[in-house]
Chains A and B, each alone.
Chain A
Amino acid sequence: MAHGAEHVYAVGNEGREVFWNAPYEAILFIFTAVALAIFAYGLYRRWQMWTAIGKPENRNDSVGERIKLLLLNGLLQLKTSKDPYPGILHGLIFFGFFVLIWGAAIDATQFHIGLPFFHGGFYLWFSLTMEIFGLAVLVGVVMALVRRYIEKPDRLGYKGEPDNTPDDAIVLVLIGGIIVTGFIVEALRIHVNYNVDGFTWETWSFAGFLLSKTLAGVGYDTTRTLHKILWWGHAFLALGFVAYIPYSRLVHIITTPANLYMQTLKPTGTLEPIRDFETAESFGVAKLEDFTWKQIFDSDACTRCGRCQDGCPAYLTGKPLSPKKLVQDIKKHWLERAPIVIAAKSAAKKSGQEPEIPEPEKALVGEVIELDELWACTNCMYCMENCPAAIEHVPKIVGMRQYKVLMEADFAPELQLTFRNMENNSNPWGIGAHLRGDWAKELGIKPLAEDPGVEYLFYVGCAGSFDDRGKKVSVAFAKILQAAGVSFGILGTEESCCGDSAMRGGNEYLYQAMAQANIEVMNGYGVKKIICTCPHGYNALKKDYPHFGGTYEVYHHTEILARLISEGKIQLKKPVPGVFTYHDSCFLGRYNNVYDQPRKALTAVPGLRLVEMERKLEKSFCCGAGGARMWMEEHGDRINTARAKQAVDAGAESIAVGCPFCLTMMSDGIKDLSKEDSMVAKDIAEIVWEAMGLEEEQPKEEATAEA
């Protein structure tokens, strides 16, 4: 019933008989049904596993926005294509396959139902398109093979050891096999049909046509036999591919787009607050069951591409943590646990009793994920920002930290000290809380208690209030505001620590106490606009405080500086000569997309030359102080030293920062490199203040005496 055969093909009405020389359509139907059944069973099984473990979580709200994200990053591959080589290879395979599948569907429709337009010009362009995209897939597969088996980048492994599995090879061979057999089948067909009965348009199928030239001398019958065998080979590979999807890494064809659709729509880095301290019996994540189902599903969307690992500051300085390994370890644990849980639940259903789920052999926290991995994370958000599958690593890590801190109180002693300092003096350094406003005394800045009618609250934060280096930044920034005539005040001793280090260090209880203290004071004064010089406070106030009734317009000081400069409120006339590089703070850049303003402020400074480090913007390298790491011992190679080295390599003489944690880390990194005589780290506020040229000359004597 090959409808195509009704046409009389000729130049001007080009076409061909689809399924030529492949007459056993009934058998093909059976095999297709079998393949689909295997696929469906696999998917059903996977579905059971996805839904077996985990707390409920709604990831199906705002459908429109989710579909948009799915189309952008799934269908258009925007995120995947950000990394050129792997982006191109995946794009070639993805778009190639996408087109070929539609081509196969058109072929099948033509064969069974008939397509009135499947001849002539349409046919020729169709053939050419299939040819091009077939070749694209083949090129993609070769690129993938080269990358995985010859080039062997570290990201496709862990600590120099490739983590290839047989499945990786099977999938590539399968894809390559489908294309290769497709082209050979085509070549064989062309070999016996070309120029027979006027079939001269096969040149449009240029790859198959060229390949057919190599078949010169192969006889008609042999060709037909070979064609038949390979046609079936091609069909079996294609059906095998379909059947294999749920049992292999190919499952990402389903899980990754699903994960893109279900990705968090909350502002970057937002952590869901614990709300039931009084009633809950456990806090944080101790076992797989404590994750939400989506947090577990994440791990099934991971393709081990390793982009996360490529910029992870912990991994790159030799710590055991790799975001990829973390997700894969969770996945392995889930693959072991889910069938056990499913079996226990179904047994319980039959007997009508409560399911008795055996305890896991390995504890999730401490064994599946080792504590050194858990505590190495700086919450820098590189992994999440650069994951093409929208996997959410950081909340998992913080969840497990919460368990260690809140439930077991088992964590680094230096972090315990930090928390106690925050409890007793509302700052991680443990300096007397009564000293918080002292830096501002000589500047005549009024606390809100004296003048609540100001436009901006300058939320100084702990570093700006207590750290000697940080205080200088506060002073510089306050002087700029004063010079620009901005109406602002501070909270003074009424200010509390923002709590970021407690939150990210797993101490949600302490964090909420800090947040509530601040919110109570700020709301009491009717604060609407806030400026922070520390991106950690900035991020917490902007994104996490709204959970507790603290909703403000929050600005980072570099945003204000860029604005004051562009509005001409401050003039930068004094040259600050030197080659500077700007180090993106994670909590400013990746967390809040503030990339341009700090650079705008810097490039406005006369005499200053800005050079960029290789790792910048959304691929910036953390200073090592986020995620409460500021307060913890670092073993082995230091992240800040590595970052300072990157600045040196960029040819910078000075490092400009917009974060007091980064300032400390970069200053220390410069010292580690013994470059403190020639290199310096400065906050942008200090640079801008210097460029304003308003600082009165320091008495020379005093400067000398201090030295």
Chain B
Amino acid sequence: MNLIACVKQVPDTEAQIKVKADGSGIEEAGIKWVMNPYDEFGVEEALRLKEKAGGTVTVVSVGPARAMETIRTALAMGAEKGVHITDLDNADAFATASALAAAIKEIPFDLVFCGQRAIDDDSAQVGSILAELLGVPQVTIVTKLEVADNKIKAVKPIEGAQLLIEASMPCVVTAQKGLNEPRYASLPGIMKAKKKPVDVKKAADYGISADFKANVAKMMPPPSRPPGKIIQGDDPAVKAAELVKLLREEAKVI
């Protein structure tokens, strides 16, 4: 089976995000970059399918030079090879999906995994656009997957129920938390990953221009939270009354 896992490098969930003064993006200094956690579920699922049924796993990533670390992480987990498309900084979902689609079309594929969304821009569009561009079915937000007879059976949770969705292969699946527990890379895996082949491509190699359909006009820090208030006083009854008054008049919650 030819399996593709699309990965994106994002800031660690615990990293301190500071918006640049000019609103053009975030301060990158001191940020620890990691693989988007939802993409990691996709990589893990691809590896498990490969280990069960044979085949190869190719990781594809759109991102700046540092995204190579994330590709190596997936290779350390057990993927065979990688494609890295580099010069699409600040690309929108459509351009990103177009680059991924162009790269994937050059590789035979049966199943493509994406994370259901990336935790940095939260757009949740790339997987869907990619499926459209590849002209294949898509099942999004998958928590359980079975593959048999060139078909997938995927479970997708929705409010109050679960859907079992069947789709023919090739297709695109976007991974949700719960699909699996991603593995910890073994040391030989890490060492071997350094030598695995990664094709470094430019967007232009696929005829994709940096003229994006949607652009982030400005990035702003979230509104700062007003400081908490401590009600002072000795008499609990007086303090309680004050609390009720504030909750009603100031916070307007009761």
Contact = CB atoms under 8 A, between A and B. Distances in A.
Interface in A92-148: none
A496 to B, nearest CB: 12
A424 B230 contact: no
A702 interface: yes
A635 interface: no
Question: Which residue of A406, A409, A419, A424 has the most chain B CB atoms within 10 A of its CB atom?
Answer: A409
Contacts of A493: 30
Nearest to A434: B16
A701 B232 contact: yes
Nearest to A429: B14
Interface stretch (B52-60, B142-150, B184-192): B184-192
Contacts of B87: none
Interface in B128-163: none
Contacts of A702: 230, 232
B183 interface: yes
B185 A409 contact: yes
A434 to B, nearest CB: 4
Interface in A425-482: 425, 430-435
B34 to A, nearest CB: 6
Chain B interface size range: 20 to 34
Nearest to B190: A509
Nearest to A426: B32
B233 A432 contact: no
Contacts of B190: 509
Given A409-B185, A434-B15, 19 more contacts: A277-B191, A278-B191, A281-B188, A283-B187, A406-B186, A407-B187, A409-B183, A409-B186, A419-B184, A425-B32, A431-B14, A432-B12, A432-B14, A433-B14, A433-B32, A509-B187, A509-B190, A700-B234, A705-B232
Q: Nearest 6 CB-CB pairs, A to B?
A: A406-B187, A432-B14, A701-B232, A409-B186, A434-B16, A416-B184
A420 interface: yes
Interface string A381-412: 00000000000000000000000011111010
Contacts of A430: 14
A413 interface: yes
A326 B30 CA distance: 45
15 contacts: A407-B186, A409-B185, A409-B186, A411-B184, A413-B181, A416-B184, A424-B12, A424-B32, A431-B14, A432-B12, A432-B14, A434-B16, A434-B30, A701-B233, A701-B234
A402 to B, nearest CB: 9
Contacts of A282: 188
B231 interface: yes
A574 B16 CA distance: 42
A56 B120 CA distance: 52
A49 B45 CA distance: 47
Interface string B1-31: 0000000000010111000000000000010
Contacts of A431: 14
Nearest to B187: A406
A431 to B, nearest CB: 6
Interface in A264-307: 277-278, 281-283
A509 B230 CA distance: 47
A409 B12 contact: no
Contacts of A705: 230-232, 239
A407 B188 contact: yes
B239 to A, nearest CB: 8
Nearest to B32: A424
A432 B16 contact: yes
B14 A277 contact: no
Nearest to A435: B16
A413 to B, nearest CB: 6
A408 B187 CA distance: 8
A697 to B, nearest CB: 15
Contact of B14 (A406, A425, A700): A425
Given A701-B230, A702-B230, A705-B231, A425 B12 contact: yes
Nearest to B16: A434
Contacts of A405: 184
A413 B32 CA distance: 22
Interface in B171-186: 181, 183-186
A51 B10 CA distance: 53
A410 to B, nearest CB: 9
Interface in A145-187: none
Contacts of B34: 424
Nearest to A406: B187
Contact of A432 (B15, B185, B191): B15
Interface in A656-686: none
A472 B57 CA distance: 49
Nearest to A283: B187
A501 to B, nearest CB: 15
Interface string B49-80: 00000000000000000000000000000000
A433 B34 CA distance: 14
Given A430-B14, A434-B16, A420 B184 contact: yes
A162 B227 CA distance: 65
Nearest to A413: B181
A281 B184 CA distance: 18
Interface string A483-521: 000000000010000000000000001000000000000
A700 B233 CA distance: 9
Contacts of A700: 234
A701 B232 CA distance: 5
A458 to B, nearest CB: 22
B18 to A, nearest CB: 10
Contacts of A416: 184
A282 B34 CA distance: 27
A509 B34 CA distance: 18
Nearest to A706: B230
Nearest to A509: B187
Contacts of B230: 701-702, 705
A406 B76 CA distance: 12
Contacts of B231: 705
A595 B125 CA distance: 61
A416 B233 CA distance: 48
A493 B31 CA distance: 12
A425 B16 CA distance: 11
A522 B32 CA distance: 21
B186 A408 contact: yes
